[in-house]
Amino acid sequence: MNRSLHRALYSCALVLLTLMMTQTAALALPSDTLTLSRGWTFSEHGSSEVHPATVPGVVQQDLIRLGKLPDPYYRLAEDSIQWVGERDWDYACTFTLSPEQLQRPSIHLLFEGLDTYASVYLNGQKILEAENMFVAHEVDIRPYVKASNRLEVRFRSPLTAALPLYEAAGINYPADNDHAEKHLSVFTRKAPYHYGWDWGERMITIGIWRPVRVLLRGATFFAERPVVTYHPERSLPIEVRLPEGAVRGSEATHLHYHLYDATGRLVFERTAPLADFITPTERGGLHALANPQLWWPNGLGKPYRYKARFELLEGERGRVLDVAQCAVGLRTVELVREKDKDGQSFFFRVNGQPLFAKGANYIPGTLLLPTRTEADRKQLFDDVAGSHFNMLRVWGGGTYEEDAFYDEADARGILIWQDFMFACTAYPGDSAFLKNVHSELVYNIRRLRQHPSVATWCGNNEIREALKYWGWAKRYPKEVYEKFWHDYEALFCKLIPETLREEDPLRPYIESSPDTVNWGRPQEMGLGESHYWGVWYGRQPFEILRERMPRFMSEFGVQSFPMLPSISRFARPETDYDLESDVMKAHQKSSIGNDVILHYIRQDYPEPRDFADFVYLSQVMQGRGIALGIRAQRAAAPFCMGSLYWQLNDAWPAVSWSSIDYYGEWKGLQYEAKRAFAPIILVPDTVQGKMLLTYDPLPRQRQVSLTAEVRDFLGRLVRRHTFAPETLPAREVGRLEVALPMEKLFTSDAERKGAFVHYELRDARTKALITELTDYAARTKELRLPRTKAGDFTLKTTRRAGTLFIDIQSKTLLKDAYIDLGETGWQLSDNFLDILPGRRYRLRATRRQNAPARTTTALPTVTLRSITTAE
Ligand code: BMA
């Protein structure tokens, strides 16, 4: 390599002098922070080939950038990328400190995340050994730091690092999602899904995945932020507590605390000795506030946030030694588990009000975690808040998300059910493992506890269920199986709850999800929360979701294919557009997947005609089926008080249970979920002959009127039925049952197969439309749908500024119409809808905020597919 280039690569920059506080880091960042993000290099250990490195980043992302690794998501790339995770990699950079900076009493190096096994050297001196990607490391480097410094981070392959532990244990742990013969993943505190999953490829990433900073502080500083909690039952309801050990150094005597409202107006201020905040007293950390604004979840009010600012003072009016700030949301969250006549309740109460949880399970949006952008995050929260979600479960096989994720959840009113990162396998329980996990617990609990959005902690995903029902008792010798239980209890029944009692006593803890109910034991459904997999794994019809009703549905789902424009980004139409092609099989990680998808399509829909039709029908089936479940669960309130489907998103382009595919395209399910999670919905049950009006708490009572119009598929009115007006009471999760006179709506078999019923719910006074729904008295495949001919419908696309308008009108019913723009990156105002005969539709399409820029100004070619139209 050319020497000057070599030198240039090694010369590192001191970057970004931030004179700002971050509001979210658990460790209150001091006023003087150097972020080391430039001038890094990386090389394979032992190789002289040195390349510029992205920090934060992982080796794989740089190798892709350098053209040394293929796009890991394209076609069959998976096998060819595995070598990277099997090798060791070195990172290095240099940085300088000015004479003034070297004078700072405290100089620490902060790694916010190292993935995973790393030895860190500063000027040749080893300063850190890391072995957990979920923790930050802060090292006092004052003894070793100089004007010019060389920092080296040497990573070992997580596979070779874990091998001795595997061999010493003498057990191949269950971990069936770990796509290797030896299940090494359980020994390593690294995102479990990196090792593969039943929706994910395997990519063992390695690198400095979160920022590196030099913290230049005074002799006294905040090592932890004060914690603000809200206790409405007390006369002084706001508590500001300085956790023990939160202040380093000996100069601080007082804390100056300010609280600002959302407009920046100071609403409270106090200076008091530290002791009055360590054990909060009315002279210090306890106070009231006139008219406190509460933080509310999406749909129930504003997610109001105050801003708190804390100053450490030397003397009551003395020097400011350090500053910390954070957003504060005043709210209470309880998880109510009370014995009742049906078993045991399971619901969240927010600010005293029972909440029906609406949302989905979230997995990391890529395997290359550091490549995610702010636009990705904003788009994600736009998607979920716009679809009326109020909760996401951050599932335990991924990662604890970055601070900005929880900030966004706080700002959008999305409650977070936060799993600890353990999923679907037994784990070791030796003291070294538990010690490592303990540091992970403390770090993440402290980092996240100030977020009003974080509603509950949960120990793990499905491990209790697995121990009981996944056949491990037979698969392993008795003593091994007993060890699994013993280690399980040490971690989830002891270490985690004990740590939470110390660090975050107010927040609920669920030991394992599901907590009690196994889907194969319907008699248990009244006891709590369930992952209902009778639909999908049990191949039961969707309609069973009306009967198998848990107290809270925390997972249920079926798979579909990604959108066709998305498939075109990872597969080649000529060779790969076939269920049996190697590429499609490689992107379907569930061994039973395509068979089960076809099973469910055949229940309700005509046989798919070709690959594209299969893709389309998989989405119609998934959307309609899961929405049936969501509606039934909402209609079963207050018995059932939550509906989180599996799964919101994808980590790579895959056939999966997601409702938004890897490229951000909404599948049929996301549109259906948005409708089914709307504040007021109609839930018809044509079999039982009833209609349920189901609604989230309303600010005031509402008079509504319901009408039903039966029309044939050419739009001709068959009959009209008006129901008596009803009153929806205010302020409760409600349901109102109305008898559906099915025999009056459809009077013959011909009508049942040749007509639809369109319901409209209107405000009785203003006549404004609240919600509408089209329903059928027969399965789609039994309907006598007219074959759509050319000229039966019109589709016109126009553009005004950045918005496309798509106008549709049809003479015949277009059942399950899917509007395809032929390319990814567009957000449609609606899709996967029944286009009713004679009605005009105008859809809007805008670019998604994280979509790549288009390379053409031409209008996209818009096509329409429905059950009876091929194109
Ligand atoms: C759920 C999840 C995942 C899995 C999914 C589909 O139970 O917790 O582990 O991907 O099932 O099988």
pLDDT tens readout for residues 408-446: 999 999 999 999 999 999 999 999 999 999 999 999 999
The neighbouring-strand residues paired with 287 are 238
Q: Could you tell which of 531, 555, 589 is best to mutate to test the pocket of ligand 1, judged by most ligand atoms within 8 Å of the CB?
A: 555
Q: Give the domain 791-865 fold.
A: Immunoglobulin-like (2.60.40)
CA 408 – CA 590 distance, rounded (Å): 32
Verify whether ligand 1 is closer than 6 Å to residue 198 (CB atom).
Answer: yes
Query: Atom 8 in ligand 1: which residue has the minimum CA distance?
Result: 461
Comparing CA positions, the residue from 867, 815, 434 lying closest to residue 609 is: 867
The domains of the chain are located at 30-156+203-215, 223-326, 680-780, 791-865
Comparing CA positions, the residue from 324, 644, 317 lying closest to residue 455 is: 644
CA 496 – CA 512 distance, rounded (Å): 11
Q: Of residues 401, 462, 465, 709, which has the active-site annotation? A: 462
| Residue 457 CA, ligand 1 centroid: distance in Å | 18
- For the question of residue 462 being annotated catalytic, the response is yes
| Residue 819 CA, ligand 1 centroid: distance in Å | 30
Question: What are the angstrom distances between the C-alpha of 819 and each of 337, 454, 507, 834?
Answer: 44, 37, 44, 11
CA 24 – CA 652 distance, rounded (Å): 28
**Quick check: do 223-326 and 791-865 share a fold?**
yes
Verify whether ligand 1 is closer than 6 Å to residue 465 (CB atom).
Answer: no
Point out the residues of the chain with pLDDT beneath 70: 1-31, 870-871
Query: Atom 12 in ligand 1: which residue has the minimum CA distance?
Result: 198
Count of alpha carbons within 13 angstroms of residue 406, beta-carbon side: 28
Q: Which residue has the tokens 């909690």?
A: 229
Q: What are phi and psi of 791, to 5 degrees?
A: 90, -10
Write out the two tokens for 168: 């010493």
Q: Which residue has the tokens 């992205």?
A: 54
SS3 492: helix
669's enclosing H/E stretch is helix 668-676
Verify whether ligand 1 is closer than 6 Å to residue 393 (CB atom).
Answer: no
Q: Could you tell which of 176, 198, 512 is best to mutate to test the pocket of ligand 1, judged by most ligand atoms within 8 Å of the CB?
A: 198
Residues contacting 576, CB < 8 A, separation 6+: 75, 582, 583, 584
DSSP string, 738-780: EE--HHHH--SHHHHHHEEEEEEEEETTT--EEEEEEEESS-G
CA 829 – CA 848 distance, rounded (Å): 12
- Answer for the pair 214, 95: CB distance below 8 angstroms, yes or no: yes
The torsion defined by the Cα of 242, 248, 251 and 252, in degrees rounded to 10, comes to: -10
Verify whether ligand 1 is closer than 6 Å to residue 461 (CB atom).
Answer: yes
CA 355 – CA 357 distance, rounded (Å): 6
Verify whether ligand 1 is closer than 6 Å to residue 460 (CB atom).
Answer: no
Q: Give the domain 223-326 fold.
A: Immunoglobulin-like (2.60.40)
Ligand 1 atom with least separation from CA of 395: 8
| Residue 833 CA, ligand 1 centroid: distance in Å | 28
820's enclosing H/E stretch is strand 814-820
Residues contacting 311, CB < 8 A, separation 6+: 255, 256, 257, 320, 321, 322, 323
Comparing CA positions, the residue from 272, 382, 261, 276 lying closest to residue 666 is: 382
Which CATH number is 680-780 given? 2.60.40.10
- pLDDT of the residue at 10: 34
Q: Give the domain 30-156+203-215 fold.
A: Jelly Rolls (2.60.120)
The neighbouring-strand residues paired with 222 are 247
CA 336 – CA 346 distance, rounded (Å): 6
SS3 365: coil
pLDDT tens readout for residues 706-717: 999 999 999 999
Write out the two tokens for 272: 């008091």
CA 685 – CA 663 distance, rounded (Å): 35
Q: Quick check: bond before 606 cis, omega within 30?
A: no
User: Using CA of residue 442, residue 446, residue 449, residue 453, what is the dihedral sign?
Assistant: negative
| Residue 670 CA, ligand 1 centroid: distance in Å | 19
- Answer for the pair 294, 331: CB distance below 8 angstroms, yes or no: yes
